[in-house]
Amino acid sequence: MTISPCRTWIGLTLVWSLLTTSLAWGWAWPGADDLEAALERGTKSAAQAAGPSVVQLQTVGGKEFVGSGQMTMQRGRGPTTGLIVSDDGYIITSSFNLAHQPSSITVFITGRNDPLPAKIIAQDQTRMITLLKVEAQGLPVPRWAAKSELKLGQWVLALGRTWSDSPQAPPSISIGIVSALDRIWGKAIQTDAKVSPVNYGGPLIDLDGKVVGLLCPLSQRGEDDVAGAEWYDSGIGFAIPMEDILRVLDQLKAGKNLERGLLGVQFQPTEALDATPTISLVYPHSPAEKAGLQAGDTIIEVDGQPIARTSQLRHRLGPKYAGDTISLKVKRDKEEIAIPQLPLIAPPKYQQMAWLGIAPVRDDPSWEITIRYVFPESPADQAKLEAGDKIVNVEGRPVPGREGLAARIGGAMPGSEIKLGVRRKNGKMETITVKLAAISGAALLADLPPGSAKKALAPRQPPPGMMAPPRPTRPEATKPETAKPVTKGFIETEDPVLGRKTWTYVPENYDPNVSHGLLVWLHPAGDPMQAAMRSIWEPLCQQHHLILHAPLADNPSGWLTSEADLILQDVRGLLQTYTIDRQRIVAHGLGQGGTLALFLGMDAPEVFSGVASVGGVWVQSAKEPRPGQRLFFFLASGGKDPNIEAIRVVKERVSERQYPIWTVDIPDLGTGYLPDADLLRRLVFWIETLDRI
């Protein structure tokens, strides 16, 4: 039998770890004992040493779903884990455990009969940990291990205290090794011990029982509360070094939220981690601008360490907080410039969405994006782009269709420059530099040319070197020759179990090869307005390729936010049945229905691209926008509405979040619907432009 060098090293490491641990704890090392028995004794002893400081957290209330986009998940049920960090009641845990924003948190501590209520003190938003406080003294605090003590291959234990017969039961134990250091851009220890929601917020300990780090889900690609949860039980787990937590503990105790530190610059757009860190944009009024950094500068040194690639720069900046300072050396042409003590800044909480200023052709199977309209005085207009031109690439890289281009442009910084590869109408290829602007909420009152190539069901053509995206899952897309015709016209449904009612209007001229906008109508309290809305919207749906869907409130007195999940189920069902443009899904409501529309848009921006509220008032959203989030608002209000002051707050709240808004003030309107054809035409045009880029 051949023994690999790797297994030999791990075995020797284990023997040495157990030998040194036995000496430290005064054990005898009987030669007759086998390795497995020694390991069992070592893990039990280490867990007994650290176990009393591992607490169980139980939460009540909060959101049903957490995360966003592809990482949206239903929140877990049952208890989670925390770790005592000082004897006067401070407890640290993973922010993942509180991502659902619970209404109450209760802590169960070993050796105490009564649970204690906890409150959130502060968060470290770059390492995704949260500090809690309970009113107690004399709590058991574990011993800490310094980062300098950590070695690759060192045996460690992951402890958790979740499902058990009693909060007083021993913690769960998972064993593994330290498989890497300085992971997730220098912020984390990597271990192959099983790390999952079972022990998120618990400690990673060594065989002496000293705490090495705090177990957390982390990701190199995402930074929200659930980023990294997809790795659970995969053999790739992470822990924040305890030394790093203790270094900022006093700031957290003082109630200071810690944020990631940024330079205040944007680099040349590329996904390659080996790219040269050359600055493409310096944020206005940032410390970087005040220090004299310029577009075109290349960073070659950080804190005395040479930098050649973007990945190295991210690794140096990853552990830093807003307010920390760094020293830079940049290369400008042939000159090297030293910039000492540059303060880092916090990420902008809200960022305006950038735009190019075009309306693309829809339902085109080609990966090239054909321009059907150029908005006057937009960046595209200033760059001399024209209707009929095709955008082939951005910064030399193809983008798959209008969705890919919208994501690429919307996530950029207004004021940044991009290079577009454009195929002109005459077939000539050109590279055009465009300086992006912040998108405006005001729609331009002009009719756009027809928007669809009428090939929505055709197989998508991928860019060269990329795989073709999956075809739609609707029956007529997969087997058009055998698919049954979809239902058109006025459709009423009633759930046989819940008794919940909805109605939908699909225009009689519906063509599955043409993507339709979806308008979700949310009626005012006590009045479904079915006849009125059908009279108004059926001809508009036929003319502008729209589908109208109207759920009815379960409660005769009005809507509850708990009905939002059922409405989202409706939308997902319609997406499976009809050809719907995901960039033109709108929550539209009047009065209390307008309030629910605002909640839906803010809570599910991955589903809704627009909110059209008439007389809705502000409710605290369950989510905050991501930078560059594509979400548009049409806000109408009546001057005689008794809630006018509360309605005006909506504009303030939406504006401060940097969303594009189009407002309509109707002086003589009370609590009614849009009173004339001109206002309806504006709303229809606004819907028509939601996929502008």
Buried b (16+ CB within 10 A) or exposed e, 626-660: bbbbbbbbbbbbbeebebeeebeebbeebeebbbb
> What pLDDT shows up at residue 688?
93
State the Cα–Cα distance between residues 482 and 459, nearest whole angstrom: 18
pLDDT band at 650 (very low <50, low <70, confident <90, very high): very high
Residues 464-479, mean pLDDT to the nearest whole number: 57
What's the order of all strands across the beta sheet hosting 305-306? 305-306, 298-302, 325-332, 335-343
| Residue 80: pLDDT over 80 | yes
DSSP-derived 3-state class of residue 241: strand
Please tell me which residue, 334 or 157, carries the higher pLDDT value. Answer: 157
What class is the 354-438 domain? mainly beta
> What pLDDT shows up at residue 285?
74
Do 367 and 390 touch, CB atoms closer than 8 A? Answer: no
> What pLDDT shows up at residue 346?
86
| Residue 28: pLDDT over 50 | no
Name which of 227, 177, 171, 231 is nearest 7 in CA terms: 177
Q: What is the mean pLDDT of the chain?
A: 84
Buried b (16+ CB within 10 A) or exposed e, 153-176: ebbbbbbbbbeeeebeeebbbbbb
Sequence ranges of the chain with CATH classification 3.40.50.1820: 488-688
Q: Which residues contact 82 (CB under 8 A, 6 or more apart)?
A: 54, 55, 56, 57, 91, 92, 93, 97, 107, 132, 201, 202
pLDDT band at 14 (very low <50, low <70, confident <90, very high): very low
Number of neighbours of residue 205 by Cβ within 10 angstroms: 29
DSSP-derived 3-state class of residue 94: strand
pLDDT digits (tens, 9 = 90+) for 233-268: 667 899 999 999 999 999 999 999 999 898 888 776
> What pLDDT shows up at residue 62?
64
Number of neighbours of residue 501 by Cβ within 10 angstroms: 15
Q: What is the DSSP letter of 296?
A: T
What class is the 50-253 domain? mainly beta
CATH number of the structural domain 488-688: 3.40.50.1820
> For residue 346, what are the CA distances in angstroms to 130, 290, 295, 320, 672?
18, 16, 20, 10, 44
Q: What is the DSSP letter of 378?
A: S
> What pLDDT shows up at residue 500?
92
pLDDT digits (tens, 9 = 90+) for 516-554: 999 999 999 989 999 999 999 999 999 999 999 999 998
> What pLDDT shows up at residue 24?
44
Residues 388-413, mean pLDDT to the nearest whole number: 84
Name which of 126, 130, 100 is nearest 118 in CA terms: 130
Residues 452-456, mean pLDDT to the nearest whole number: 94
Prediction pTM value: 0.64
> What pLDDT shows up at residue 568?
93
What whole-number percentage of the chain has pLDDT above 90? Answer: 54
> What pLDDT shows up at residue 197?
85
Residues 210-232, mean pLDDT to the nearest whole number: 73
Complete DSSP assignment for 542-563: HHHTEEEEEE--SBTTB--GGG
> What pLDDT shows up at residue 226?
58
Q: In angstroms, how far is CA 340 from the centroid of its own chain? A: 34
pLDDT digits (tens, 9 = 90+) for 549-570: 999 998 878 898 888 889 999 9
The bridge status of strand 429-435 relative to strand 417-423 is: antiparallel
State the Cα–Cα distance between residues 319 and 185, nearest whole angstrom: 7
> For residue 691, what are the CA distances in angstroms to 82, 406, 452?
45, 8, 12
Which superfamily does CATH assign the domain made up of 268-343 to? PDZ domain (2.30.42.10)
| Residue 278: pLDDT over 80 | yes
Q: In angstroms, how far is CA 299 from the centroid of its own chain? A: 29
The bridge status of strand 211-216 relative to strand 203-206 is: antiparallel
Sequence ranges of the chain with CATH classification 2.40.10.120: 50-253
pLDDT band at 463 (very low <50, low <70, confident <90, very high): confident
Q: Which residues contact 374 (CB under 8 A, 6 or more apart)?
A: 357, 358, 380, 381, 385, 386, 387
pLDDT band at 25 (very low <50, low <70, confident <90, very high): very low
Q: What is the DSSP letter of 89?
A: T
Name the one residue in this structure whose structure tokens are 């109707």.
666
First-to-last C-alpha distance (Å) of the chain: 63
> What pLDDT shows up at residue 13?
44
Sequence ranges of the chain with CATH classification 2.30.42.10: 268-343, 354-438
State the Cα–Cα distance between residues 462 and 475, nearest whole angstrom: 22
